[in-house]
Amino acid sequence: MIERVWKVSVPKKTLHVGPISCIDVQENGSECVSVGEDGRVNLVSVGNSNLSHRRFFNSNGLVSYTAAKWASPMEFATGGLGFSLQWWDQRKPGGPASRFKGNWAHRTTSGVVHSIDIHPSRKHTCIQPIVLSGVAAGEFQSHSLSESEIWEVQHDSYSSNIGNISTSRVLPVMICSEDGILAVVEQGEEPVELLAEPCAINSFDVDRQNPSDVICSLESYCHLDEGIISETKMKNSVA
């Protein structure tokens, strides 16, 4: 349920030159981070009738950012082109506190980080799609479910009891992909396919209060004879 909606106008190019790639709001709603392909990283606070922002970083287009996720009130992660991840700390302005650049040998996707998720219990561990796309070495590669772009990732709190999983293991993750797959991937286990559609599944979200309920956004309408999913079927599949 949406409790409040703010609509605030800002002058053109105040935040970004061109489209905003991603925004993420802190858990308490006090601040959001916005990133864009223009290389700008903004921290934005929205009041009842006004917006305040500060330019936390500007690469002037030398680096593009396509995803962002808060890890704590002071820290957040971003992702971009070339399998790159950046870790930012507001207490350390001037640039990323640390960087990671993937260099996998088998590249079957574009190398763009479309989504990042960070579990509150492991705030310094980022999950991002490239690791799960059949292009990375490690536990996930032998059980690759999708060879196409993975559009979104979220930690899965329904399939497993996260509190009982060793800190040395990657937490279970739910993914959706360009080739129409919604699935749960867990380290060392066979992937669990929840849904397969003839069109891309661009995004999804999980009800935090009832994590067996999942809603998906499809690239186009899938006709009944092509296997359109009903609400009942979705619930049964996820459960």
pLDDT at 129: 53
Nearest CA among 86, 65, 70 for reference residue 19: 65
- Looking at the structure, do residues 164 and 234 belong to the same domain, yes or no? yes
pLDDT at 108: 53
Domain assignment present for 111: no
Structure tokens at 161: 């009891």
- Measured between alpha carbons, how far is residue 174 from residues 42, 116, 127, 192, 212 in Å? 28, 12, 11, 9, 12
- Looking at the structure, do residues 234 and 133 belong to the same domain, yes or no? yes
Domain count, the chain: 2
pLDDT at 75: 92
pLDDT at 68: 94
pLDDT at 1: 47
pLDDT at 213: 84
Q: What residues make up the domain containing 210?
A: 117-239
pLDDT at 150: 84
- Looking at the structure, do residues 183 and 127 belong to the same domain, yes or no? yes
pLDDT at 8: 61
pTM check: above 0.85 = no
pLDDT at 13: 76
Q: How many helices (H) and strands (E) does the chain have?
A: 1, 16
Residue segments in the chain with a per-residue pLDDT below the cut of 70 = 1-10, 48-49, 83, 101-110, 124-147, 159-168, 221-239
CA atoms of 25 and 32, how far apart (whole Å)? 4
pLDDT at 96: 93
- Looking at the structure, do residues 94 and 171 belong to the same domain, yes or no? no
Three-state DSSP class for 122? helix
CA atoms of 150 and 169, how far apart (whole Å)? 21
- Looking at the structure, do residues 77 and 180 belong to the same domain, yes or no? no
pLDDT at 57: 95
